[in-house]
Amino acid sequence: MSVKNYSFFGAVERSFNKAAKFTKWDKGILEQIKECNAVYQMRFPVKKDDGTIEVIEAYRVQHSHHKTPCKGGIRFAAEVNQDEVMALAALMTYKCAIVNVPFGGGKGGIKINPRAYSAYELEKITRRYTAELIKKNFIGPGTDVPAPDYGTGEREMAWIVDTYTAMHPGEIDAAACVTGKPVTQGGVRGRREATGLGVFFGLREVCNMPDVMAKLGLTTGVEGKQVIVQGLGNVGYHSAKFFQDAGAKIVALAEYEGAIWSADGLNVDEVFNHRKSTGSILNFPGAKNFDKSTDALEMECDILIPAALENVIDGDNAPRIKAKMIGEAANGPLTPEADEVFAKKGILVVPDMYLNAGGVTVSYFEWLKNLSHVRYGRLEKRFTENLNTHILGQMESLTGKKVDKHEREFIMHGPDEVDLVYSGLEETMITATREIMDCWKNNADIPDMRTAAYVVAINKVGNSYAELGIFP
Ligand code: NAD
């Protein structure tokens, strides 16, 4: 039985300290990188549908101002507390640094169970929260830009941008005050699935490294890999879907009400629709039920993807996990004790702080789109298509051969917004994976991939402070 005597932020600090030893920065710079720069705790009243008034507890934390704006999602959950928001904000700083997104880390949280409120009540809470952020200058295209997180999505982001715009009439860049918006409200195509797609690109890159796979006793590539996913929300659903589309087998899916398992593989969309129509993931035709959801995580598989909440794998259940590789799609799903167990067992943990950076990467693209006021691909799509048509015509007339219809469409296609977003994300995740792996390979004393990721992050933020100087 493990005893956890530190908080989530404490766990992040612990990982930071472990990695700081492998960097050249002096104590003062390391302290400055580690601490949260600003913590805003607020309380505000909301009148519920039944006429009663409830006082809501909420937070916004700006972990680092080494680059602005600050960036990070807003979480709606009953478990929200200051320590959690601080930890998540810190992870955002490191995450942005690793994927070269020029933001400081931030995070927001409202302590409510969103399922216990009507849509109208949630709208009032979200709009009031936004107004509180505006009052303290904790939101704005150049200061702090929230996004979705656990329990929030496009709908909440639309309420936020609408509230901000109403209170900043004429501010031309107002749409850039929040990301993860619906496309009709200034969002970017590809943002919804971005985190899950980033998880897939990151893990695929690791699976494509023959030396890493050989060490784990796995074959190279994603095809045929057996995958278990916890959480069928935004991140979990899309991670599972992209793995399935690439030829992996999703053998188990776990939700809070239970889990299901099938040796033949589960069809992610069918499970999703089954849950939507029956209200539960359980009793999916042909699958075995687990009433205790976490039991599914302990089944045989190649890759385990926790994509729900933090601290779900700890010193207690880690020894029973049979996966060869764990992809942290959620933030903080493993405790430091679990990390130690996996390091000893030779299980590879691909860390949250870069693996789930797809959301913030595409949020960055959305923010840039809002500031430039033009859709990606609008200027070059037709030009590229005309050029490709011309090149293809020349090739066909020189060779006397015709390219088949499918290939013709592929070659001639000029990029749409979603094509550019996907390719920007793919490039980002591949580069980050290689950078972290290289850092790890180049220093034999670095114990695990998480520590290597922290080293990369600390060096980038440290460099930024060194170049910036410290304001007197
Ligand atoms: P979400 O609300 O869309 O989905 C979370 C899912 O997990 C829900 O379906 C919920 O029912 C399920 N769940 C909750 N407790 C569970 C339990 N004990 N066992 C199994 N399932 C459980 O949230 P999300 O946006 O997918 O976020 C999930 C995680 O990914 C969080 O840790 C979040 O911080 C992280 N994350 C999200 C984004 C993003 O873009 N949304 C980006 C980076 C990281």
Q: Is the pLDDT of residue 206 over 90?
A: yes
> CA separation (Å) from 347 to 299, 326, 336, 341?
15, 7, 14, 9
Does 381 participate in catalysis according to the annotation?
A: no
Q: CA dihedral defined by 460, 462, 465, 470, rounded to 10 degrees?
A: 170
Residue 294 pLDDT class (50, 70, 90 cuts):
very high
Strand order in the sheet with 226-230: 288-290, 258-261, 249-255, 226-230, 303-306, 325-327, 348-350
Q: Is 330 in the pocket of ligand 1 (CB under 6 A)?
A: yes
Q: Is 239 in the pocket of ligand 1 (CB under 6 A)?
A: no
Q: Is the pLDDT of residue 316 over 50?
A: yes
Q: Is the pLDDT of residue 468 over 80?
A: no
Q: Is the pLDDT of residue 3 over 60?
A: no
Whole-angstrom Cα distance, residue 349 to residue 338?
10
Structure tokens at 153: 């999505």
Cβ contact 296:240 at 8 Å:
no
Looking from the CA of residue 235, the nearest atom of ligand 1 is 26
- Check residue 472 and give its pLDDT: 59
pTM of the model: 0.94
* Cα 289 versus chain centre, distance: 28
The candidate with the shortest Cα–Cα distance to 23, out of 413, 453, 325, is 453
Ligand 1 geometric centre to CA of 294 (Å): 15
Cβ partners under 8 Å of residue 60, min gap 6: 40, 42, 85, 106, 107, 108, 133, 138, 139, 144, 146
> CA separation (Å) from 48 to 71, 117, 119, 340, 460?
30, 8, 11, 46, 46
Q: Is 308 in the pocket of ligand 1 (CB under 6 A)?
A: yes
Return the H-helix or E-strand segment holding 40.
strand 38-47
Q: Is 363 in the pocket of ligand 1 (CB under 6 A)?
A: no
Structure tokens at 347: 């299980």
Ligand 1 geometric centre to CA of 378 (Å): 33
Contacts 24+ apart (CB under 8 A), 380-384: 380/414, 380/415, 381/414, 381/415, 381/416, 382/414, 383/414, 384/414, 384/415
Looking from the CA of residue 331, the nearest atom of ligand 1 is 32
Residue with CA nearest ligand 1 atom 36: 330
- Check residue 226 and give its pLDDT: 98
CB atoms within 10 A of CB 435: 18
Residue with CA nearest ligand 1 atom 38: 149
For residues 161-170, average pLDDT: 98
Looking from the CA of residue 333, the nearest atom of ligand 1 is 32
Cβ contact 453:98 at 8 Å:
yes
Please name the residue that has the structure tokens 């959620």: 330
Q: Is 358 in the pocket of ligand 1 (CB under 6 A)?
A: no
Q: Is 8 in the pocket of ligand 1 (CB under 6 A)?
A: no
Residue with CA nearest ligand 1 atom 4: 233
CB atoms within 10 A of CB 285: 8
- Check residue 469 and give its pLDDT: 66
Contacts 24+ apart (CB under 8 A), 3-6: 4/314, 4/315, 4/335, 4/337
For residues 67-88, average pLDDT: 97
Q: Is the pLDDT of residue 33 over 70?
A: yes
The widest CA-to-CA distance across the chain, in whole angstroms, is: 78
Cβ contact 93:64 at 8 Å:
yes
Alpha-carbon Rg for the chain, nearest whole angstrom, is 23
Ligand 1 geometric centre to CA of 151 (Å): 7
Residue 4 pLDDT class (50, 70, 90 cuts):
low
Q: Is 361 in the pocket of ligand 1 (CB under 6 A)?
A: no
Whole-angstrom Cα distance, residue 111 to residue 36?
20
For residues 369-377, average pLDDT: 97
Residue with CA nearest ligand 1 atom 35: 330
By percentage, how much of the chain surpasses pLDDT 90? Answer: 96
Ligand 1 geometric centre to CA of 352 (Å): 13
Q: Is the pLDDT of residue 1 over 60?
A: no
For the chain, domains (ranges, CATH) are: 41-185 (3.40.50.10860), 194-355 (3.40.50.720), 377-416 (no CATH)
Residue 102 pLDDT class (50, 70, 90 cuts):
very high
Structure tokens at 176: 């850039």
Cβ partners under 8 Å of residue 370, min gap 6: 141, 173, 175, 176, 186
Mean pLDDT in the chain? 96
Ligand 1 geometric centre to CA of 305 (Å): 11
> CA separation (Å) from 312 to 205, 226, 296?
25, 20, 12
Ligand 1 geometric centre to CA of 307 (Å): 5
- Check residue 2 and give its pLDDT: 44
Give residue-wise pLDDT tens across range 421-440: 999 999 999 999 999 999 99
Return the higher-pLDDT residue of 256 and 469.
256
Q: Is the pLDDT of residue 158 over 60?
A: yes
For residues 443-448, average pLDDT: 95
Residue 359: CA count within 13 A, CB half-sphere = 32
Q: Is the pLDDT of residue 344 over 60?
A: yes
Residue type (1 letter), 336: P
Residue 396 pLDDT class (50, 70, 90 cuts):
very high
Structure tokens at 33: 């990188």
Q: Is the pLDDT of residue 198 over 70?
A: yes
Whole-angstrom Cα distance, residue 314 to residue 334?
6
The active-site residue, picked from 34, 95, 107, 381, is 107
**Pocket probe mutation, ligand 1, options 152, 200, 271, 309, max atoms within 8 Å of Cβ:** 309
Whole-angstrom Cα distance, residue 87 to residue 353?
11
CB atoms within 10 A of CB 34: 19
By percentage, how much of the chain surpasses pLDDT 70? Answer: 98
Q: Is 331 in the pocket of ligand 1 (CB under 6 A)?
A: yes
Looking from the CA of residue 308, the nearest atom of ligand 1 is 7
